[in-house]
Amino acid sequence: MKKQLLITFIFITLLAPLAKSQSGTKDDVLLFQSFFRDAPVHTTLYGQGLISYDAYDRVDVLGLTAYLGIPITRDMELGTGLNYQNISYNGDWDDETGIADIPVFWRYNFHNERNTKFSGGAMLTLPVGTEDIGYGNVDFGIFGAVRHAISDPVVLTGTLGINFLERWGGRETSMNLGAGVIYQTSRDFHLIGELVLETETDYAILNAGADYRISNDLRFRGSLGIGMNDYSPDFQLAAGLLLYF
């Protein structure tokens, strides 16, 4: 795990000085793994519906997720979501279903230029999830995020956060690290690459996604994630629609 953290730190550190940008930060193209842990703040209501499939060694998880981004001011935004899960065990156990705890994200944009954006925020989970599938916890944390355009088609993204997770009657401190790149291949099509690590839960995933603009307000999105250790899914598939209202 320490090796993964070192690689991520070096990745972010080396990419940051490449800042000779020529274009915008492509704020309408959103990340997959760090959907709300991102630098752009939007001035219009937006939502995403997503179906996902996570394959582990002994269990498969089918998820249905709805995200909602709510603008508060020009520089401030709230985000939340609802995630339904069906857990299928590779054995004699019965399937289990339920909802995850509801996350609430607050995000404020501190630096907003055409080619560079910095934002900071906080998150809190409401403990309304199904306890039988491991939810019902109050987690909270803070994070910072950046986007920077280094050329006309390429935007780099990064996020760093500290989370305080409720685990087994106590509370654990965990770091959330993310680095990514957005590459525009045509007027309506973007490729999105992400590497995300969560230290306490040993979650590490390399994600490749695509974003296709169907119309000015509607996008089709899909991604494939590959887990990088035993505590992450072997692979993760996701597809859905993103709508700007």
200-214 residue pLDDT tens: 888 999 999 999 999
| Eight-class DSSP state of 28 | T
* pLDDT surpasses 90 at 125: yes
Are the C-beta atoms of residues 215 and 235 closer than 8 Å to each other?
no
* pLDDT surpasses 70 at 20: no
Residues of the chain above pLDDT 70, percent: 91
Query: Which of 81, 91, 87 has the alpha carbon at shortest distance from 62?
Result: 87
Question: Where in the chain are the domains?
Answer: 2-244
pTM for this predicted structure: 0.87
Among the residue ranges 109-113, 119-123, 184-188, 227-231, the one predicted with the least confidence is: 227-231
Compute the average pLDDT of residues 36-52.
96
pLDDT at residue number 11 = 46
Between CA 123 and CA 127 the distance in angstroms is 13
Supply φ then ψ for residue 39, to 5 degrees.
Answer: -80, -40
Between CA 66 and CA 100 the distance in angstroms is 12
DSSP one-letter string for 201-239: TTEEEEEEEEEEESSSSEEEEEEEEEE-STTS-SEEEEE
pLDDT tens sequence across 128-181:
999 988 899 999 999 999 999 999 899 999 999 999 999 877 899 999 999 999
- Rounded to the nearest integer, the mean pLDDT of the chain is 90
pLDDT tens sequence across 62-100:
999 999 999 999 999 999 999 999 999 887 788 899 999
Query: Which residues lie across from 70 on neighbouring strands?
Result: 78
pLDDT at residue number 13 = 46
Quickly state the pLDDT bin for 183 (edges 50, 70, 90).
very high
| Eight-class DSSP state of 62 | E
pLDDT at residue number 200 = 87
| Eight-class DSSP state of 100 | P
Q: Which two tokens stand for residue 216?
A: 């000015």
Between CA 66 and CA 242 the distance in angstroms is 10
Cα 7–13–15 angle (5° rounding)? 100
Compute the average pLDDT of residues 47-53.
97
**2-244 fold:** Porin (2.40.160)
